[in-house]
Chains A and B, each alone.
Chain A
Amino acid sequence: MKRVPVLMVLSLVTALVATGCSGDEGPSIVVYNAQHEQLLEEIAPKFTDKTGIEVELRNGSDPELAAQLMQEGDASPADVFLTENSPAMSAVEGAGLFAPLDQAAVEPIPAQYRPQSGDWTGFVARSTVLVYNTSMVDEADLPDSIMDLADPEYAGMISFSPTGADFQAIVAAVLDLEGEERTQEWLDGIKANGTTYDGNNVVLESVNAGESAIGIIYHYYWYRDQAEAGDNSDNTELYFFGDQDPGAFLSISGAGVLAASDNPDEAQQFVEYLTSEEGQQALADSYALEYPLNPAVTLGPPVKPLTALDPPTVAISDLDGAKVVEMMTQAGFL
């Protein structure tokens, strides 16, 4: 009976210590990070080393953090917003929440990877790919176009992660390239053909385990697993679409500074670092294996080079996330 109060006091003290010792002096910024947490945990310290500016990360998914920013509006504590895919950036831009980026931040990035407004910029990119189980499918049997996956011949063979922003960006590209009617048909088709999972890692793992033959993912999930030990990918190979097929869609990860930022200078510095040669090299050298967009930096092998891809031309600001959600709800994914 006596132990209870002692335990309580101990834990209370612990609680106070745990929650009370996070106060920091000096300049710092808050980054709403929808990119992979691990990547920013690798990159942000390098920025801090260089500039002395501390970076606090709030991690989440693209639409989650975007919607949160829109709800927070002027009250947002965020200084910088990073996403995995561009539709969320467009949504925040549409809500007028970004401050224009400094010229120095956007200049290194080719124009096709950023909106004309200059409110934000791409900083890395990822390619849509198929991953297939080599003991279940021959490369020769894989389709030329991602649109073909809706055909009955792929019934029961494909898997993907429709709840993720990654897949939704791919759907946005399909919508932009193929129009609403064909996209809805395609969604209905792959729904009938496929198994859904939550997360591209899970899709990769399920293909590796032979639960489905083909998965729709981004390239780096496979390369990363290979770079580790191949636990979830050794039974699989990658297949890149080409010919500017919607399936060769290159999705842009964006970075922007919020108008509500209390530390606009530090925030601009952070984005500038991300697009600079130094920052891009750091991104390229990281575990991430996403494509840097500054032409001065290239991703080494074994990743298929950016220049060898043949992605479709998609106007980055045209990707309509809201419409995609509506159509996917219609198709019964959500």
Chain B
Amino acid sequence: MLGVLVAATSLLPLAYVVVSSAQLPPGEAVDFLFRPRVGELLWNTVRLLVGGVALSVVIGVACAWLVVRTDLPGGNLWHGVLAAPLAVPAFVNGYGWVSTTHAVQSFGGAVLVVSLSYYPLVYLPTVAALRRLDSGLEDVAAALGHRQLATFFRVVLPTISPAVLGGALLVGLHLLGEYGALQILNYPTLTTGILAVYRTTFNGPAATLLALVLVVFCLLLLVLELLARGHRRRARVGAGVSRTATRLHLGSGAWLVVAGLAGLSVLSLGVPLTSLARWLLRGTSTTFPAGDIGAATLTTLGLAVAGGVLATLAALPVAWLAVRHRGPLATAVERSVYPANALPGIVVALALVTISIESFPAIYQTLPLLVLGYCILFLPRAVVSVRATLELAPPVLDDVARSLGCTGAETARRVTLPLVLPGLGASMALVSLAVSTELTATLLLAPTGTSTLATEFWSRASAVEYGAAAPYALLLIALSVPATLLLSRAANRDGLRTPASAVLESVS
């Protein structure tokens, strides 16, 4: 019941988009959609999607394989370095690049910068999948006369493909909704187009129509991923003994590989961080209004935690339905929260603005509405992670506890909660990471006088006050570090499935 309510709430923005699009005279809508400009935006979006996802997958999978399956010098150190770009929000990365060279304000540049930002979304689940992979499979392939490379493509890749596909889907959805980075890279896509139209006409019908196109894109992507994944089973079930894989000896090629990875890190971390440092040190517009920065930091922290807690709590009934009461309704409820994943923050925000003004004026421009917006935006993320976490506490454990004399409450306290709490914590961290760097919805929904690090950063960076933006960028990165650490550690754990690693897998 609660689950249905949550699902219905998360569908509100989508309903808003569809209903307000439907209210347009069809002729007008067709005229608006079938224009060269829309074609241009679509083309830009599609090629960015293809290029960005492809490059992210190549980088993510190659790095994961190097770290897990070779004797790479400094192996675990590299894992940290390779996961670290997750802590640099894409729009901060874009700012770092653009304020260094304008050459990235092109298709190639946009693909490069977004891939450098988002490849960890492929890398981390792939590392986790590779760690859990039964190396016996590779031994078998070797025994069947396959070389290492052939083994990788014919055995390893198909087995880890659900994780890779999941990561790719995530990258795709992020790219569809990305605003800040692409705006600063001056690369117009559907989402930046929607924002341009919104900013000109507020929530006029034109923007809603474009949003509808974007939503269709998102649904297509979900369906594609489902088709690609097919009915493939999980790599391994049960408590099989984890074997230590033999690592490929890189030999004299090691230094070449290290040089390659170092090059990647220079691009993904070096450029944005150096540029940030440069602006912090010499930026002419660098000012350190400590009071503003402090207030924005506190607000951001508070909103991040509130959003994380609330989204996770809201995800609980949905995930519970999906895990414990499998059936058409549960599937429908669970699936219905996913489209929100690809709705740009501004669509969610404007839906909430309209709905609140028309129906609930009391909560308009209040923090609860902003947090509700975060909840809707990041519910899909919370649901997958909470769901994976709940799967760690199968019903048979409840049975055992009850046969040993536990009441329902005791079972929850002594069995279910200890098993799921760390996972719920990880889920909150994931959502909080996303909330703390959320930009567009915040700009619209934040009450008067409330500004976050992201909005403060953006108002300066978009005015080309790179120096003034720098301290905020630094703090945004600092805030993202803990969640990134949590995820990168979870991915790197051998053997046992921990709640956090389950969260990672579920990301896929």
The residues of A with any CB-CB pair to B shorter than 8 Å are 1, 4-5, 8, 11-12, 14-19, 22, 30, 37, 56-61, 63-64, 66-68, 70-72, 75, 77, 163, 165, 168, 197-199, 201-202, 204-206, 209, 211, 228-229, 231-232, 325, 328-329, 332-334
Contacts and interface: CB of A to CB of B under 8 A. Distances in A.
Contacts of B196: 163, 198, 334
Contacts of B422: 1, 4
B463 A199 contact: yes
A193 B344 CA distance: 31
Contacts of B204: 67
B76 interface: no
A297 B196 CA distance: 36
Interface of B: 32, 35-37, 40, 102, 105, 183, 186, 192-193, 196-204, 206, 284-285, 295, 298-299, 301-306, 309, 353-354, 357, 361, 364-365, 367, 421-422, 425, 428, 443, 448-450, 459, 462-465
B462 A199 contact: yes
Q: Across the A-B interface, give the 7 residue pairs with the lowest CB-CB distance, nearest first.
A: A67-B202, A15-B302, A18-B298, A4-B425, A201-B464, A229-B284, A18-B302
Contacts of B35: 329, 332
A163 B465 CA distance: 19
6 contacts: A8-B428, A14-B302, A18-B301, A57-B448, A58-B449, A64-B198
B366 to A, nearest CB: 10
Contacts of A64: 198-199, 202
Contacts of B365: 58, 77
Contact of A66 (B193, B202, B443, B459): B202
B499 to A, nearest CB: 9
Contacts of B197: 334
Of A19, A30, A197, the most chain B CB neighbours within 10 A belong to A19
A143 B361 CA distance: 52
A61 to B, nearest CB: 5
A211 B305 contact: no
Contacts of B285: 228
Nearest to A225: B464
A37 B459 contact: yes
Nearest to A324: B200
B448 A198 contact: no
B200 A163 contact: yes
Contact of A8 (B309, B361, B450): B309
A164 B364 CA distance: 26
B37 A8 contact: no
B202 A18 contact: no
A198 B464 contact: no
B302 A198 contact: no
A4 B499 CA distance: 13
B299 A18 contact: yes
A22 B206 contact: no
A19 B199 contact: no
A334 B206 contact: yes
Of A18, A61, A328, the most chain B CB neighbours within 10 A belong to A18
Of A14, A15, A71, the most chain B CB neighbours within 10 A belong to A15
B199 A63 contact: yes
A8 B425 contact: yes
B200 A63 contact: yes
Contacts of B364: 72, 75
Given A75-B364, A163-B199, 7 more contacts: A5-B425, A67-B202, A67-B204, A202-B186, A206-B102, A211-B102, A332-B36
